[in-house]
């Protein structure tokens, strides 16, 4: 859940101010494990040329079980569907304010019954993915709707919802991770709740406590795994569709890693540049000087859980089975200085990757082969 959701918080701030079973917990040191690499087998995306392959700002990326690729492009407010070879198939939605039109899109997910849900500035759009038909828009209002993160069984989905409330002489942001039904601002199941003091003058806590507060993945439409952003705790929890905790994995063999002054400056400048690009103006950013222990989650076709280590310079995944047994360690070999900007999507349909800050100056989507 990446950085572009920040403008939603700024908008809200301006408005306010003017499957079952026993839980299993595993704590284990890292043994000597088989290692593998994700291999880039193909790519799509051009700097200049066919507009169907020019990506302005990738905000959502999904690979279906048949290998089809679904891409949400914020710059063009559209969803593009490609086959497993990267050949364009169809478009869903377009920029605008009318029915079936979108603007300032930030998150996308597919549910089991074929709902395509897209969060934008102050509303949520619902499409039939199979037909591309627009179904409805959930009402706009002062409180933003939940921001979709992962689809689940039927039409339910995992999302983050935030609300900024005055408390004494402070502003407090209440953040809820839960399982929702379309159109509801209240979750059916609460998975996690956090609060932090909100400062309109420092944008960094918004990134760390809202946009990147949770890494989420869903297995078989039934079990949701999530990890809170923390620089001191490596912990993954799993809940069933009905809200029963069925999994917990904790490791204490990693030490916090502090950014170098150069890395911290680079992170600060990256945040500021993204804010300016979104029209938010020049904002103060004071990032957490420590890297998060976990910066991403995924699940593969075998139901294994891929946990990305936030403390590594290149994308590095610990791969566990659904009992918490560590199976292997997998990396994506990219330039270490660029590694933290790479998003890697691991889903039952396969694996994809793209960079938020590409060295070549324009975004591409890379198809990856998962090692045995």
Q: Please state the three-class secondary structure of the chain as a single string.
A: CCHHHHHHHHHHHHHHHCCCCCCCEEECCCCCCCEEECEEEEEECCCCCCHHHCCCCEEEEEECCCCCEEEEECCCCEEEEECCCCCEEEEECEECCCCCEECCCCEEEECCCCEEEEECCCCEEEEECCCCCEEEEECCCCCCCCEEEEECCCCCEEEEEEEEEEECCEEEEEEEEEEECCCCCCCCEEEEEEEEEECCCECHHHHHHHHCCEEEEEECCCEEEEEECCCCCEEEEEECCCCCEEEEEEECCCCCCECCHHHHHHHHHHHHHHHHHCCCCCCECCCCCECCCEEEEEECCCCCEEEEECCCCCCEEEEECCCCCEEEEEECCCCHHHHHHEEEEEECCEEEEEECCCCCCCCCEEEEECCC
Backbone angles phi, psi at 200, to 5 degrees: -65, -15
Domain boundaries along the sequence of the chain: 3-369
Look at residue 145 in the predicted model and tell me its pLDDT. 77
pLDDT value at position 169?
Answer: 84
Distance CA 185, CA 84 (A): 35
| pLDDT tens digit at each of 372 positions of the chain | 343 333 444 444 433 333 444 454 444 445 567 889 999 999 999 999 999 999 988 989 999 999 999 999 988 999 999 999 999 999 999 988 888 888 878 889 999 999 999 988 778 899 999 999 999 888 655 467 788 899 999 999 999 988 888 888 888 888 999 999 887 888 999 999 988 888 777 767 777 777 778 999 999 999 999 999 999 999 999 999 999 999 999 999 999 999 999 988 888 887 777 666 555 556 677 778 999 999 999 999 999 999 999 999 999 999 999 999 999 999 999 999 899 899 999 999 999 999 998 999 999 999 999 998
Beta bridge partners of 215: 227
Which residue is associated with the tokens 């406590």? 209
- Dist CA 282 CA 274 (whole Å): 10
Give the architecture (CATH level 2) of 3-369: 6 Propeller (2.120)
pTM, two decimals, is: 0.87
pLDDT at position 184 is: 83
């Amino acid at each position: 859940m990446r950085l572009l959701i920040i403008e939603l918080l700024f908008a809200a701030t301006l408005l306010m101010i003017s499957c079952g079973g026993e839980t299993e917990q595993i704590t284990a040191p890292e043994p000597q494990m088989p290692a593998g690499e994700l291999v880039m087998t193909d790519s799509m995306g051009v700097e200049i040329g066919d507009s169907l392959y020019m990506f302005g700002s990738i905000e959502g990326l999904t690979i279906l079980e048949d290998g089809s690729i679904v891409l949400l492009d914020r710059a063009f407010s559209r969803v593009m569907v490609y086959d497993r070879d990267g050949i364009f198939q169809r478009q869903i939605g377009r920029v605008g304010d009318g029915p079936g039109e979108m603007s300032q899109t930030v998150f996308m997910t597919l549910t089991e019954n074929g709902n395509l849900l897209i969060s934008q500035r102050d509303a949520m759009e619902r499409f039939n993915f199979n037909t591309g038909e627009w179904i409805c828009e959930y009402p706009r209002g002062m409180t933003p709707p939940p921001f979709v993160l992962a689809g689940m069984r039927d039409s339910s989905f995992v999302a983050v919802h935030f609300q900024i409330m005055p408390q004494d002489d402070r502003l407090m942001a209440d953040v809820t991770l839960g399982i929702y039904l379309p159109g509801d601002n209240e979750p059916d199941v609460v998975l996690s709740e956090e609060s932090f003091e909100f400062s309109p003058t420092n944008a960094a806590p918004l990134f760390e406590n809202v946009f990147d507060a949770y890494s989420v993945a869903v297995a078989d439409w039934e079990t949701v795994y999530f990890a809170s952003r923390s620089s001191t705790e490596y912990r993954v929890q799993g809940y069933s569709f009905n809200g029963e905790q069925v999994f917990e994995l904790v490791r204490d063999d990693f030490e916090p890693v502090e950014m170098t002054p150069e890395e911290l400056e680079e992170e600060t400048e990256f945040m500021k540049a993204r804010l300016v690009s979104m029209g938010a103006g020049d904002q103060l950013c004071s990032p957490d000087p420590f890297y998060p222990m976990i910066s991403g989650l995924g699940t593969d076709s075998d139901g294994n859980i891929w946990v990305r280590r936030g403390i590594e310079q290149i994308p590095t995944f610990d791969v566990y089975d659904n009992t918490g047994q560590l199976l292997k360690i997998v990396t994506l070999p990219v330039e270490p200085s660029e590694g933290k900007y790479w998003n890697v999507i691991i889903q039952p349909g396969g694996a994809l990757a793209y960079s938020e800050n590409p060295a070549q100056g324009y975004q591409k989507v890379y198809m990856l082969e998962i090692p045995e």
